[in-house]
Structure 1
């Protein structure tokens, strides 16, 4: 069975999304390209859009896409406490009919009582996933600690493994894949190249083979999200090309 492919709206770039009319405007592109789902990014909303999530959720359903919801916040605060906005974000995800809600890890304190989080998630229809980000809290040691402490209890729905973000924090994506593969439930496919000012995400056709090597070490039955630049005059054709590539078609 071929893996699901999800398109992250941010792959089209903030400026292009604004020019098209917001995240809702890219749904026909994503659907026409043959994607299984869309990842909606909270940071790309203006206030009016944030107050109309139910309408966006209906538009996603009408496009026959599954929804994921990404919030640019961490599960744990700088003080090592659970994010105080969890309930709000779960409610927003519910309005989108999202399958999963994605956070970065944040300042996870070793020894945290994972049953607190387990109780908070009890009964939630939306599944929680935690991603490695481009901060010190997104390093392999931190994610390894969290998932081996709390992940083995199957709290939430595991990990969003961002293949490229390891490069930003100086970790080896292949080593991360070997250690964290059992917890991975969603993959952000991302390739990157070094520049004079740091790493820059690039399209897969412009990248070396690291992304393929990393993907080969991860579960082949979990959704794959496109989170690298999708650019060109014909966005449907560009998007379809990479969807087919990630499905192995």
Structure 2
């Protein structure tokens, strides 16, 4: 079976997406490129759009795409408590008809805090995936502690593996893949280059082949999300190029 390919709207650049008229405006590009799904970013939605998520859901479906929903919030607050906004975020994802909600981990401290997830997620039609972000909470050790809690408590939670975010927090992506791969259900495909003391995301054609070897360490059936920059005069052609590439490698 060919891999499901998702295009993250932010890959076109937040300012560019906004200038085009919002995330709905890039749906024809994503669909024409042959992708299977779209990742909608909450931070790119206006208040009006947040109040009309079923309209966006209908537009996504009209382009024969499925949706996933990314919220720039953590599962656990800085004090270790479960984020009280989670039920509302899950409801937003449901209104979007999204297959899953993606959040970062945050300050996970104990299984006691995670226990509250059981009833909440069992009652939700939307799955939850947790991503390694570019904060200290996105390092390997916290992600492994959470992975262990998921296993012990049998939580219906899986991981989004962002291939390049490990570099931002000084971790080895390959080591992270060797430890976390069994729980990974979604892959953010991203390559990065170091510029002075910082990293910047780059298109795969401009990257070293390290990204491909890393991708092969991860579950072969996990959907692959394009989160690296998609730029050029013909965005449909550029997107199609990478959709085809990631479907076959």
TM-score computed with the length of structure 2 as normaliser: 0.97
Structure 2 SS opposite 1:112: helix
Q: Which moved more, 1:188-197 or 1:98-107?
A: 188-197
Aligned position for 2:219? 219
Contiguous gaps of at least 5 residues in structure 2? none
Aligned position for 2:166? 166
Contact 1:33–1:240 at 8 Å: present in 2 too? yes
Structure 2 SS opposite 1:181: helix
What's the CA shift for 1:209?
Answer: 1.3
How many matched pairs?
249
Aligned position for 2:177? 177
Give a deviation string over 1:21-79, Cα, whole Å, max 9, x none. Answer: 10000000000000000000000112111111110011011111110000000000000
**Counterpart-to-counterpart distance in 2, 1:93 and 1:132:** 20
Alignment CA distance shift 1:68-1:108 (3 Å) = same
Contiguous gaps of at least 5 residues in structure 1? none
Contact 1:4–1:247 at 8 Å: present in 2 too? yes
Aligned position for 2:66? 66
Alignment CA distance shift 1:15-1:243 (3 Å) = same
What's the CA shift for 1:118?
Answer: 1.1
Map 1:1-249 → 2, pairs under 5 A: 1-151=1-151, 153-248=153-248
Aligned-residue RMSD, C-alpha: 1.2
Structure 1 SS opposite 2:188: strand
Segments ≥4 residues shifted beyond 6 Å:
none
**Counterpart-to-counterpart distance in 1, 2:151 and 2:200:** 30
Contact 1:40–1:67 at 8 Å: present in 2 too? yes
Q: Which moved more, 1:225-234 or 1:120-129?
A: 120-129
Contact 2:150–2:156 at 8 Å: present in 1 too? no
Contact 2:115–2:153 at 8 Å: present in 1 too? no
**Counterpart-to-counterpart distance in 2, 1:112 and 1:3:** 36
What's the CA shift for 1:152?
Answer: 5.2
What's the CA shift for 1:112?
Answer: 3.0
Contact 1:167–1:199 at 8 Å: present in 2 too? yes
What's the CA shift for 1:111?
Answer: 3.8
Give a deviation string over 1:165-194, Cα, whole Å, max 9, x none. Answer: 000000000000000000000000000000
**Counterpart-to-counterpart distance in 1, 2:160 and 2:85:** 20
What's the CA shift for 1:154?
Answer: 4.2
TM-score computed with the length of structure 1 as normaliser: 0.97
